[in-house]
């Protein structure tokens, strides 16, 4: 990978970076399968090469053709321009790049192929008539700000249009007096604990309070919640996350069983309520059923921990498989495996689980 661009590359990059070309996101010096593309747009799977005189030799032309054919097997198209074209007719080069990218994205959508990561419409007539459009004062990307920012989203909320110019077709655009930032991810949640907010934070003067007294309040809360309440509590919590800009949450879920510590008829009953709550709130969910086996190192679980406990790895696997079956029914949910801690699961079972 070259550190210093040629004058032609520097000029073209200045016109491409920060989505300046019709909202298209390009990367410079993009590696792929051992090759380096001068510029690459993932949305259109389009590579752009800027060639100097060396590319006029037969040996180099043969190599370029072989490389282009190889990348085509990965559905990446490469278009090439000479240094003189970029330096002397920049606008025409940019127009050709934009048209090629736009045509490739239209063809991909028209063939029913899934849109590539980060794909969207460019400025021009939209391929999707049902997009809802917004105008923001600015929108933050990795390369910097797009300002103003026109955004079109489909019925699933996926961005299909992004540009600093409005769509060409006549359409309603909702103005938002503010800036758009990437959504936050909440990497660790215990939704049921939202029900005890305020119950363990306020104490009279001189009260003896520490983590362990907080934990006792948490146990009392855990023993009191039924599945309907779990869904209601989680829906309120997840709605608050969405309101504050979170778009995904990892839910470390260990309130598995009924108040007597017996598995529900549907082992993932409580987990299914969390998935339903996330769907209500409109947040993506990674549901992580937690393997919780012991009260401490070599210590049996306490009675007030009974709703958390899978006594054997087989019991946990049964719970996890039931959770997987629930998650498969929901487009915006996934699952993962977790053990609570080394103190809460026998080390041999930790090894077998992971």
Q: What is the pLDDT of residues 92-107, one digit of tens each?
A: 999 999 999 988 887 7
CATH of the domain at 75: 3.40.960.10
Determine, yes or no, domain membership for 162: yes
Question: What CATH number is given to the structural domain containing 189?
Answer: 3.20.20.140
Q: How, if at all, do strands 46-51 and 77-82 pair? A: parallel
The answer to whether 275 and 285 are in contact (CB under 8 A) is yes
Q: Tell whether 66 and 139 lie within a shared domain.
A: no
Q: Are residues 225 and 331 in the same domain?
A: yes
Residues 237 and 337 in one domain: yes
Write down the number of H helices and E strands in the chain: 9, 14
The dihedral built from the CA positions of residue 222, 224, 228 and 234, taken in this order, carries a sign that is negative
Question: What pLDDT is stored for residue 170 in this prediction?
Answer: 64
pTM of the model: 0.63
Question: What is d(CA 99, CA 233) in angstroms, rounded to the nearest whole number?
Answer: 50
Q: Are residues 102 and 152 in the same domain?
A: no
The predicted pLDDT at position 343 comes to 95
The answer to whether position 116 is within a domain reads no
Is 274 part of a structural domain of the chain? yes
Q: Is 127 inside a domain boundary?
A: no
In this structure, the answer to whether residues 48 and 176 fall within a common structural domain is no
Residue 83 falls within a domain, yes or no?
yes
pLDDT of residue 116: 38
Q: Which of 193, 159, 180, 184 is nearest to 242 (CA)?
A: 184
**What local confidence, expressed as pLDDT, does residue 107 receive?**
75
Q: Is there a single domain that holds both residue 322 and residue 273?
A: yes
Residues 197 and 232 in one domain: yes
User: Tokens 């939202």 identify what position?
Assistant: 194
Q: How many folded domains does the chain comprise? A: 3
Same domain, 106 and 137: no
How far is 263 from 269, CA to CA, in rounded Å? 9
Same domain, 240 and 294: yes
Enclosing domain of residue 329: 184-353
What ranges in the chain are assigned the alpha helix state H? 7-16, 58-72, 83-88, 90-110, 211-224, 227-243, 269-281, 313-327, 347-353
Token reading at 23: 């909202």
Residue 2 lies in a domain: no
Phi, psi of 119 (to 5 degrees): -75, 155
Looking at residue 124, its pLDDT comes to: 41
Task: Point out the domain boundary residue: 180, 215, 241.
Answer: 180
Distance, C-alpha 340 to centroid of its chain: 25
Q: Are 246 and 290 contained in the same domain?
A: yes
Q: How many residues does the chain have?
A: 354
Buried-state track 160-195, b at ≥16 Cβ within 10 A, e below 16: bbbbbebbeeeeeeeeeeeebeeeeebeebebbbeb
Q: Within 10 Å of residue 276's Cβ, how many Cβ atoms?
A: 19
Q: What is the pLDDT of residue 108?
A: 62
The residue to which tokens 């747009």 are assigned:
41
Assess whether 171 and 188 both reside in one domain.
no
Asked if residue 196 is part of any domain, the answer here is: yes
**Below-70 pLDDT ranges, the chain:** 1-3, 108-129, 170
Are residues 210 and 344 both part of a single domain? yes
């Amino acid at each position: 990978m070259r550190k210093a661009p040629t004058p032609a590359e520097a000029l073209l990059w200045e016109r491409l970076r920060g989505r300046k070309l019709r909202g298209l996101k390009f990367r410079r010096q993009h590696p792929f399968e051992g090759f380096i593309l001068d510029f690459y747009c993932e949305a259109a799977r389009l590579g752009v090469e800027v060639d100097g005189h060396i590319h006029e030799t037969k040996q180099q032309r043969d190599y370029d053709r072989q490389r282009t054919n190889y990348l085509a097997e990965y559905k990446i198209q490469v278009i090439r321009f000479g240094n003189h074209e970029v330096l002397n007719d920049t606008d025409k080069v940019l127009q050709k790049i934009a048209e090629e990218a736009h045509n490739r994205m239209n063809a991909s959508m028209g063939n029913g192929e899934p849109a590539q990561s980060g794909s969207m419409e460019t400025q021009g007539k939209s391929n999707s008539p049902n997009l809802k459009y917004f105008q923001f004062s600015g929108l933050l990307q990795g390369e910097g700000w797009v300002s103003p920012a026109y955004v079109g989203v489909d019925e699933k909320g996926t961005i299909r249009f992004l540009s600093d110019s409005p769509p060409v077709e006549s359409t309603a655009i909702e103005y938002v007096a503010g800036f758009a930032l990437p959504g936050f991810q909440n990497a660790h949640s215990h939704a049921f604990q939202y029900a005890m907010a305020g119950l363990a934070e306020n104490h009279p003067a001189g009260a003896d309070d520490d983590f362990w007294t907080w934990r006792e309040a948490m146990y009392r809360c855990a023993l009191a919640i039924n599945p309907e309440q779990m869904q209601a509590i989680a829906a309120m919590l997840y709605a608050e996350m969405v309101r504050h800009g979170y778009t995904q949450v990892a839910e470390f879920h260990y309130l598995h069983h009924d108040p007597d510590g017996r598995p529900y008829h549907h082992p993932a009953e409580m987990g299914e309520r969390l998935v339903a709550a996330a769907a209500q709130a409109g947040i993506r969910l990674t549901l992580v059923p937690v393997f919780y086996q012991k009260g401490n190192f070599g210590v049996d679980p306490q009675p007030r921990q009974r709703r958390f406990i899978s006594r054997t790895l087989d019991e946990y696997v049964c719970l996890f498989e039931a959770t997987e079956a629930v998650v498969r029914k929901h487009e915006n949910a996934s699952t993962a495996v977790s053990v609570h801690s080394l103190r809460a699961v026998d080390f041999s079972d930790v090894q077998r689980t992971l």
